[in-house]
């Protein structure tokens, strides 16, 4: 299981997804009122000197961010069912694309609501890296499947 390259790719996807989940994804800055907001898995939080103030939930984004590493982790243990592993990986690619769509919807709505400009953190690029890694996983699983089929023909 661990000796296969796709398992290492999937472990890297799990790691990057967990880092994405627990790191701030974006900053929203209102220069007129000198107010700063942070978007993370807890929601949109207003940064103040007296303490941080919770402003808005982003439960859908948090659920999607938690589902991505879970699907990748499940996919690691399905190494005997390669076709299902490919399907789960493709489903994970769709989830990551949905993550970006939902993130930009939340940022656009919050930017309009709080009259703030938003700035993405470097962590926001990790799902894009995960999409590339997922394509590599699908390619590696496809090679394994082709090898197994060719060995079955020789028998």
Split into its structural domains, the chain has a count of 1
What residues form DSSP beta bridges with 27?
Answer: 38, 119
Contacts of 137 (CB under 8 A, 6+ apart): 6, 9, 10, 13, 75, 89
pLDDT at 154 over 70: no
pTM: 0.88
- The tens digit of pLDDT for each residue in 28-73 reads 998 888 889 999 998 998 988 888 888 888 999 999 999 999 999 9
**121 torsion bin: left (phi>0), alpha (psi -120 to 50), beta (else):** beta
Task: Please count the residues of the chain.
Answer: 155
Domain that holds residue 59: 5-154
User: Which CATH number fits the domain that encloses residue 80?
Assistant: 1.20.140
Contacts of 150 (CB under 8 A, 6+ apart): none
* Number of neighbouring beta carbons within 10 Å of residue 103: 21
More confident position, 15 or 155: 15
Average pLDDT, the chain: 90
Q: What is the pLDDT of residue 3?
A: 67
């Amino acid at each position: 299981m661990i000796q296969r390259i796709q398992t290492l790719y999937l472990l890297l996807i799990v790691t990057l997804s967990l880092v994405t989940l627990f790191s701030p994804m974006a900053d929203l800055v209102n220069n007129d009122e000198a107010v700063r907001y942070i978007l993370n898995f807890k929601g949109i939080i207003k940064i103040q000197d007296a303490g941080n103030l919770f402003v808005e939930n982003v439960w859908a984004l948090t659920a999607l961010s938690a589902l991505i590493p879970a699907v990748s982790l499940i996919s690691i243990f399905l190494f005997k069912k390669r076709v299902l592993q490919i399907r789960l990986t493709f489903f994970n690619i769709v989830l990551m694309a949905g993550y970006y769509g939902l993130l930009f919807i939340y940022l656009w709505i919050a930017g309009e609501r709080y009259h703030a400009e938003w700035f993405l953190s470097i962590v926001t690029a990790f799902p894009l890296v995960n999409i590339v890694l997922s394509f590599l996983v699908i390619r590696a699983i496809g090679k394994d499947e082709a090898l197994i089929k060719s060995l079955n023909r020789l028998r």
